[in-house]
Each structure stands twice: as C-alpha cells, then as structure tokens.
Amino acid sequence: MEIPLLKDIVVICGLAILVVFICQRMKVSNIVGFLLTGVLAGPHCLGLIEQVSQVEHLAEIGVVCLLFTIGLEFSLKNLIRIKSLVVIGGTIQVGLTIAAGGLLGYGMGMPVNASIFFGFMLSLSSTAIVLKILQQRAETESPHGTLSLAILIFQDVIVVVMILVAPILAGKTSSIGLAVLDLAVKTVSILLVVFIAAKWVAPKFLYQLARLRNQQLFLLGIVLVVLGATWLTSAFGLSLALGAFIAGLIVSESEFSERALGNVLPFRDLFTSFFFVSIGMLLNISYVLHNAYMVFGAASIVILVKFITAGMAAVSLGLPVRTTVLTGIALCQVGEFAFVLSETGSVLGLIEKDSYQLFLGLSVITMVATPFLIASGERLASLALSLPLPKFIRNGFFRSGSIESSPKQKNHLIIVGFGVGGKNLSQVASAAKIPQTIIELNPDTVRKEQLDGMPINYGDATTAPVLEHAGAKLARALVIMISDPSANRRIIETARRINPALYIMVRTRFISDIDYLYSLGANEVVTEEYEASIEILARVLRKYLIPQTDIEKFVAQVRSNHYQGFRRTVYESPTVSDLGSELSETEISSIRIDPGFTAAGKSIRELDIRKKLGVTVLAIRRGSNLIANPSPDELIHEDDVLVLLGDATKLACLGDVFACNIP
C-alpha cells in the first residue's frame, strides 16, 4: 500500500540534499537552499509534491521544536531580565511597521481595513530564520541578538491580538470590549499555568522520570510537556509556537534542561527544514516572474521599512548605532506567523488573491535575502559609523553616572562585558589591587553596578571613542568577555590601532576563530570549548597517575600550538607511555573500617594485603588526622578510612575482605 506522504518526504529529502549541497559549495546559507527546494518541488513549479497540506503540518512541528529549544536556552530569569526590551522595543517596532505597512497597502489601492491588516502581516519577522542564523553565528547573547529575540517574543505574543482584531477589521464583530476581555483572561491564565508548572510540576515530574534512567521514557516525558503546552495554548486560541516557547521556559527552570535540549535538537533540525521547504512551496513562481518589478520593488521597500522601524526601536532604547544597524538587518524580513495571519485574512476577505500572491512573493524574497543581509551586517554597521551622525545616535543616548575612568590612569585593566566572566575577573582584580575600568552595553547593569561603586561605564567597545574614554592608550591590558564574535573582532582591531603595545586577551567559543583573532592583533585567545577539553584531559591523565609535570607539558604544548593538537614526540615519552600502560587498571580508592570488621585491631603487617592482593595502604584518615605513608606496624582502628592503591577489581571487593579474615 502506497503512502503518498512518504513519497513526498523522500522527494523533499533528495531534492534538498542536492540543492543545499550546491548552496554549501557556493557558501550560501542552508535556509536559502531549503526555500529554493520548496519553490522547485511545489505545485507552482515542478509539482513534485502531492500532500502539500501534510508537509505544512510537519513544518509546524519544526516551528514548535525551534521555539521549545529557544525557551530552553533562554529561561524565565532571562525573560524577566529583558522585559523592558520586549515591551518597549517590541511595541515601537510593531507599531511603526503597522503604520508604515498600512500606508504602503493604501498606496497600492487597498481599502483602509485591508491596509491595516497588511501592516499587521508585515510587522511580523521570522523567529525561525533569525534565531537559526544567530545561533549559527553564536550571536544570540550579543546586544543585537538579545534585542532581536526580545522583539520576536513580543511579535509572537502580539499576533494573538491581531487575530482577535481581524474580525473587527473585516466588520464581522463590533464587540471590541469582549475581545480585549477575552485576551486578558487568556493571558492571565497562561501566566498562571507557566508559574505553577515551572515552580512545582515540571521539576518533580522530570525528576521522577530521570530516576528511572530510561532514555525512551524521559524523551516521552519531554514530548508530553511540549505537546501539552502547545495544545493548551492552541485551545486558548493562541499560537502553537507560543506554547512551545512556554514549554521551553518551564523545562529550563529544572535541572534537566540540558538533557532535554540534547533530546530535541535532532528533531528541531529535521522539522525546521520542512518548515522552510513548505514556505517555498507556497510561492507561485509564474506570478513573481510576470510581476517581477512590483514584487521585487515591494520586497525592497518592506526590507527598508522594517530595517528603519527595528532600528528606531533600538535607538529609542539608547543603544548605539552598531547595535541599531545589526538589529534592523536581523528583523527586516516577513516571518512565518505572517502566513498564519494571512490565512485568517483570506477567510475573512481582508486579502484578495492577487494581494496574497504579492505578499507571498515579497515575503519569500525577504526571507531568502536575510542570510545575505545579516552576513553583510558588519560592513553596513561600519558604513553607518563613518557617517556624520549625531553623538547620541552613534554612541547611544544612555548616560552613565559620575564614575568614569580617569584620563591620567595608567597601566590599568579594561574589561569589556560584565557578565559572569567579567564579574569574576573584576573581583579578582579588585582583590589584587589592580586598577580597572569596565565597559558594558546593558544600561540596567551599568546603573545597578554604579550604585554599588563599580568603575563601570556604558558604551559600545567596538568604537574608538569609547575605548579612548576608557583609557586604552595608557592601559596595560584589555580583556574581552562578551559573546559576540563579530564585536570581538572589531574591538581587537580598534584597540590595536589605539595602542599597539596593549595586551589584548579575548574569549571565544570556537577553535576556528583562533587564528583570525591572532591575526587581528590579539595577544591571547581563550577558547571555551577547548579549555573545557584541556581540563578533562588533565583529569583523565591524573586518573591514570601520569606525573603532574608531564600533564603540564601536555597542556602547555596544546596552548603553544594554538590548540592544533599534540606533537608526536609527546606521545612517545617513556614516562607517559610506560605508566599509562602499566597503571591502566590501577586506581586509588578508600574504604571505611566499620564496627565488626575483623581487620580492626590488626596491623598493616598482619593483614599483609600488599602481598596477598597487591593492594598498598597509602594513608589512614583517623578522625580529623591523616596518617600519610603509615608504617607496617600501624594498628587499624574502627571507623578508620584507609586510602588504598591497587588493581580496580581487587579494590572493589576489599569491603568483604576486611569484614572477614583474609585467607
């Protein structure tokens, strides 16, 4: 029996592999490849797909998986931390875009109500595309990444309001008060459910599943949480994606968030691919070709309008021009929830057939353009910085308090970024009496830390005036502790121009960045993923009793080679190779002599475990005292803890041996 959907999935996967492979060789984003796959396979081009609606259902699963992982990585604490960005930034961006989109629709001959609805659709950006790209570029925690996420969250919530308002625009209802009341009740109910579930239900539920140590059962539990939350929000008339995001926030408050993320990631990558393919299938390529000037012209206008409105949201929050430009570029496309909204508009008669295809065409074009625009963001930001802009736009209008670095300060430390790493470094510098100046781009953090007397200033460290104000010309060292790869590169270049003798240390996530950062002028690059591997390496070697001097040689050589690996000669070290092979089964363990053990009251010589079992007593802990290298005549007492060296299998059974007479 043939299953049509199965054939469609095979076609999509096969065609996607070919198209994405070509895009990869051309250094084009995978997202563009999936969109082109949908255009080619869709009913308006080659017509290879029969079950279009079922493929769209698979695409919805992709959006659900994506928003769930975003919620997992974000957490309720982070959401509360950026609440002002969500409310203020989201309101300004959405409000201005609705106004501009409404004017654009009215200028194209749409009625007033349809124009407003057209503005609704244009105001929504693509959470799936933007966050996928930001995650690939490791920029989700950067200032523009955080603001983009905040505005996207606001958009995902406000789409519910738009759906409720749509019948009013279409003249289907006049009861605005009831619609607002309905929305308020739903919002309060959802917030209550999230709080209860995150505080009490989810942690206990996942803990009980984790205790069973059954991978399949734990995965089913995660699926239940995700689908339960999405079903609940859809039952309230809210979006599936919002429910998935809420589920992620709930699980993020438990200690099992990392495990849940590992389980969901493969499903996310698979189903988000179907999402992008399904978007491409909606496009009628013949309509676009016959109306190319209008479609591409409208897409260009939409990109420009959304760039400006998102940028104005950043400016209104006091952020500098670089963050403004990068945020505007990130949010300049039309998003997936606009298609959900368009279906409502079609049913209510707010969108005509030609207008719908125009909307689809410009939307897909903006989505395809997004990876290229984001990739060119740094160049556009540099261009903007070269313009004669007012100072309050260039550097942001937030003004820090009275604490500023002294122009006469010399040999001080400049710390860029005041997250966990920056705070730890600052505390150590304070304890060591090292003068310091901190640069931070989060105004709330600056305001709070200044009240505590910290030498911290607001500013974008990628710009020369900010670094000069921090005393970079006379500083001894600059440490960059932010999670923004592109900003790291600009800071290094700028700081090196200001002070060629400045010692620059930078933190990065990926080994692939190391050589480039050194070429820009960094003196030392610390890589998060490799520092963790070095620590693991050292602990493993200690487990095999490799001498500490040899371990230090390993670590020093890896760092001196810029993490390129070990030289062959190190592996041939007689000390390391001999000990590693001879002691591969050797462990250091400890055992307590419980009351009733026959070993109590006997000396080490009487037990003679070294001769009989090959186990050596290295030390005895008696109460608060430690007897190192005890003599053979040392008597063993009850409640002593013996530290032993020997074969792992012999050590495992010593409890039984000490409880009875050794034969």
Same domain, 30 and 141: yes
The last residue of one of the domains, among 491, 522, 553, is 522
Using alpha carbons, select from 457, 504, 497, 496 the residue that is nearest to residue 476: 504
Residue 79, classed as helix, strand or coil, is: helix
Q: Which of 201-205, 295-299, 331-335, 473-477 has the lowest mean pLDDT?
A: 201-205
Using alpha carbons, select from 633, 639, 645 the residue that is nearest to residue 604: 633
Element (H, E) at 19: helix 4-25
| Cα gap 54→40, rounded to integer Å | 18
| Residue 401 banded pLDDT, cuts 50, 70, 90 | very low
H-only helix segments in 237-352: 240-252, 257-282, 285-290, 292-316, 321-330, 336-348
The residue with tokens 């890896």 is: 558
Q: Which residues pair with 645 in a beta bridge?
A: 588, 616
Helix pair 127-136, 321-330: axis angle to 10 deg: 130
Within 8 A by CB and 6+ apart from 403, the residues are: 450, 453, 454, 455, 456, 457
Express each pLDDT in 444-503 by its tens digit: 788 788 888 888 888 888 888 888 888 898 899 999 998 888 888 889 999 999 999 999
Please tell me the total number of residues recorded for the chain in this structure: 663
Residue 1 is predicted with a pLDDT of 57
* Winning range, highest mean pLDDT, from 55-69, 108-122, 174-188, 339-353: 108-122
Residue 406 is predicted with a pLDDT of 44
CATH number at residue 499: 3.40.50.720
Q: Which of 27-41, 164-178, 279-293, 307-321 has the lowest mean pLDDT?
A: 164-178
Residue 175 is predicted with a pLDDT of 62
For residue 206 the two structure tokens come to 């996942």
Express each pLDDT in 78-105 by its tens digit: 667 777 888 899 999 999 999 999 998 8
Residue 626, classed as helix, strand or coil, is: strand
Tell me which residue range forms the domain holding 414.
398-522
| Cα gap 12→453, rounded to integer Å | 59
User: How many domains are there within the chain?
Assistant: 4
For the cut 60, the answer to whether the pLDDT of residue 402 exceeds it is no
* Winning range, highest mean pLDDT, from 56-65, 303-312, 486-495, 549-558: 303-312
Backbone phi, psi, residue 245, to 5°: -65, -40
Residue 564 is predicted with a pLDDT of 53
The last residue of one of the domains, among 361, 385, 409, is 385
Q: Which residues pair with 457 in a beta bridge?
A: 439
End-to-end CA distance of the chain: 71
Same domain, 503 and 357: no
Same domain, 19 and 101: yes
Using alpha carbons, select from 452, 445, 440 the residue that is nearest to residue 480: 440
For residue 3 the two structure tokens come to 């299953």
| Cα gap 321→383, rounded to integer Å | 10
Query: 391 in a domain, yes or no?
Result: no
Residue 570 is predicted with a pLDDT of 43
Q: What is the pTM of this model?
A: 0.66
Using alpha carbons, select from 205, 268, 235, 249 the residue that is nearest to residue 61: 268
Query: 392 in a domain, yes or no?
Result: no
| Residue 283 banded pLDDT, cuts 50, 70, 90 | confident
Residue 143 is predicted with a pLDDT of 84
Backbone phi, psi, residue 438, to 5°: -115, 135
Same domain, 87 and 224: yes
Residue 562 is predicted with a pLDDT of 55
Same domain, 217 and 322: yes
Query: 154 in a domain, yes or no?
Result: yes
Express each pLDDT in 26-73 by its tens digit: 877 777 888 889 888 888 888 888 777 777 777 777 777 777 877 776
The last residue of one of the domains, among 357, 385, 413, is 385
341 close to 120: Cβ distance less than 8 angstroms: yes
For the cut 70, the answer to whether the pLDDT of residue 584 exceeds it is no
Q: Which residues pair with 647 in a beta bridge?
A: 586
Same domain, 473 and 368: no
Query: 75 in a domain, yes or no?
Result: yes
CATH number at residue 285: 1.20.1530.20
Q: Which of residues 471 and 612 earns the better pLDDT score?
A: 471
151 close to 89: Cβ distance less than 8 angstroms: yes
| Residue 413 banded pLDDT, cuts 50, 70, 90 | very high
The residue with tokens 């009740």 is: 185
Within 8 A by CB and 6+ apart from 145, the residues are: 134, 139, 330, 484
| Cα gap 502→241, rounded to integer Å | 48
Residue 617, classed as helix, strand or coil, is: strand
Residue 310 is predicted with a pLDDT of 93
For the cut 50, the answer to whether the pLDDT of residue 572 exceeds it is no
- Determine what percent of the chain is predicted with pLDDT higher than 90: 14
Residue 98 is predicted with a pLDDT of 94
Residue 309 is predicted with a pLDDT of 94
- Determine what percent of the chain is predicted with pLDDT higher than 70: 87
| Residue 662 banded pLDDT, cuts 50, 70, 90 | very low
Residue 278 is predicted with a pLDDT of 82
Same domain, 207 and 114: yes
Residue 91 is predicted with a pLDDT of 92
For residue 296 the two structure tokens come to 């591409």
Same domain, 484 and 380: no
Same domain, 359 and 414: no
For the cut 60, the answer to whether the pLDDT of residue 324 exceeds it is yes
DSSP 519-561: HHT-SEEEEHHHHHHHHHHHHHHHHTT--HHHHHHHHHHHHHT
Residue 560 is predicted with a pLDDT of 66
Residue 561 is predicted with a pLDDT of 61
Q: Which of residues 194 and 291 earns the better pLDDT score?
A: 291
For the cut 50, the answer to whether the pLDDT of residue 122 exceeds it is yes
Residue 609 is predicted with a pLDDT of 83
Residue 567 is predicted with a pLDDT of 40
Same domain, 515 and 537: no
| Residue 154 banded pLDDT, cuts 50, 70, 90 | confident
Tell how strand 625-628 and strand 616-622 pair up. antiparallel
Residue 581 is predicted with a pLDDT of 47
For residue 15 the two structure tokens come to 């065609």
Q: Is the dihedral of CA 484, 489, 490, 495 positive or negative?
A: positive
Same domain, 354 and 488: no
CATH number at residue 640: 3.30.70.1450
| Residue 404 banded pLDDT, cuts 50, 70, 90 | very low
For the cut 60, the answer to whether the pLDDT of residue 568 exceeds it is no
| Residue 128 banded pLDDT, cuts 50, 70, 90 | confident
Same domain, 452 and 335: no
Q: How far is CA 111 from CA 107, 118, 224, 297, 319, in A?
A: 10, 10, 45, 21, 37
Query: 362 in a domain, yes or no?
Result: yes
For the cut 50, the answer to whether the pLDDT of residue 524 exceeds it is yes
Residue 416, classed as helix, strand or coil, is: strand
**DSSP assignment, residue 511?**
G
Residue 437, classed as helix, strand or coil, is: strand
| Residue 403 banded pLDDT, cuts 50, 70, 90 | very low
Query: 390 in a domain, yes or no?
Result: no
Average pLDDT of span 586-602? 81
Q: Which of residues 378 and 262 earns the better pLDDT score?
A: 378
**DSSP assignment, residue 635?**
B
Query: 534 in a domain, yes or no?
Result: yes
Average pLDDT of span 186-206? 76
Query: 219 in a domain, yes or no?
Result: yes
Residue 95 is predicted with a pLDDT of 93
Residue 591, classed as helix, strand or coil, is: strand
Sheet strands side by side (includes 641-647): 586-592, 641-647, 616-622, 625-628
